[in-house]
Amino acid sequence: MSTLKPLIVILGPTASGKSEMALKLAKKYDGEIINADSRQVYKEMVIGTGSPAQIENENIKNKSDNAKVKNRSFQPITLNNIPHHLFHFVSPKKSFSVAEYKRSAIKMIRNIHKKNKLPILVGGTGLYIRAIVDNLNIPKAPPNDKIRIALEKRSTEKLFSMLNKIDPRSASVIGRHNKRKLIRALEVYKITGKPFSSQQIKGDQLFNVLEIGVSINRDKLYKKIDLRVDNMIENGLIDETKHLIKKYSVKLPAMTGIGYKEIGQYLSGELALPEASQRIKFRTHQYARRQMTWFKRDDRIRWIGNFSETKKYIDEFLLNANCKIKKSK
């Protein structure tokens, strides 16, 4: 029997239903939710990131855009009476590394344990999840503006080619379209002289973890993605992007993410709206495939398709872990 405190992880590809599953579980097991999505950490990026936090931006603004990470406000967002942590607290103009995420998430998990509640980590960013589950020793390579500016001038295709030569493992995981992550992997290599993938060393286990993957048929997933994109555009993605473009450079890594890039191109006249919408859908399909490729490598994940089956696994897990968690009926 493990003496480590419990952590539930709900993961899966984008639009698979992770947030809905996590919310049901948090209500059932007196839990609190912690974000594990690298796009949902950014302030003012709510609609385009598919965030569960469909609330006014002013309700999630931080006290200071210029505060260092360690001083940033971690005030949770409360949705359906459940606290949601690490959502929308980083300015889009600021960098936020995996190492910073790891420190923040561990702090949140331990704070939730102190309240005798169940922490539920939810998201689709594989490296964020692995950083916690495997206590990864993340490379200490602080952002280097000189290197980043030089890399930013390169095309995404060129960056992928550069990374594929020195670190094919990272290149295959990141893919050809995620410029922000390609730049970071190359930056780490240039600073440390070692491939990013070779520096992710496992440490001692921090928590007793149950990883649950939300299983969904690919065709059904693609249909859900397409419907979500249509709803995003209908519900304000264009206005959200206009607001962001007024405040931030379109060249910022956060602004080149799926959705914001294509709507930005529509607003500048480069794309018609139907073409922009189709590109968002296509890129999101690609992203979902990359997520599944990453997750399928981990045989600890239990792939489950419904809430009742998930509940059975968690009941068994908590019983074996000898955890006294309050459950609702």
pLDDT in the model for residue 327: 67
| CA dihedral of 24, 26, 30, 33, whole degrees rounded to 10 | -170
- pLDDT at residue 207 is higher than 70: yes
Q: What angle do CA 270, 275, 278 make, to 5 degrees?
A: 135
Asked if residue 40 lies in contact with residue 243, where contact means CB atoms within 8 angstroms, the answer is no
Residue 320: band (very low, low, confident or very high) from pLDDT cuts 50, 70, 90: confident
Q: Are strands 77-79 and 31-35 parallel, antiparallel or unpaired?
A: unpaired
> Alpha-carbon distance 71 to 48, whole Å?
26
pLDDT in the model for residue 138: 80
Q: Please state, in angstroms and as integers, the Cα–Cα distance from residue 143 to each residue in 18, 127, 158, following that order.
A: 31, 18, 21
- pLDDT at residue 307 is higher than 90: yes
> Exposed, middle or buried by CB within 10 Å (0-12, 13-18, 19+), for 112?
buried
Domain ranges of the chain: 6-138+201-216+294-320, 139-199
> Alpha-carbon distance 308 to 239, whole Å?
39
List, for residues 136-145, the tens digit of each pLDDT value: 988 777 778 8
| CA dihedral of 104, 21, 230, 225, whole degrees rounded to 10 | 90
Lowest mean pLDDT among 7-16, 174-183, 263-272: 174-183
Q: What is the pTM of this model?
A: 0.84
> Alpha-carbon distance 306 to 8, whole Å?
16
Q: For all residues of the chain together, what is the average pLDDT?
A: 88
Instruction: Give residues with Cβ within 8 angstroms of 135, minimum separation 6.
Output: 202, 203, 204, 205, 206
Query: What is the CATH class of 139-199?
Result: mainly alpha
Pick the CATH number of 6-138+201-216+294-320 from 3.40.50.300, 3.90.1150.10, 3.40.1190.20, 3.30.390.30: 3.40.50.300
- Residue 211's H or E segment, with its range, is strand 208-214
How far apart, in Å, do the first and last CA atoms of the chain sit? 27
Percentage with pLDDT > 70 across the chain: 90
> What integer is the mean pLDDT of 256-270?
95
Instruction: Give residues with Cβ within 8 angstroms of 110, minimum separation 6.
Output: none
List, for residues 31-78, the tens digit of each pLDDT value: 999 999 999 999 999 999 998 865 433 343 433 333 333 334 456 788
| CB atoms closer than 10 angstroms to residue 224 | 17
Amino acid at 145: D
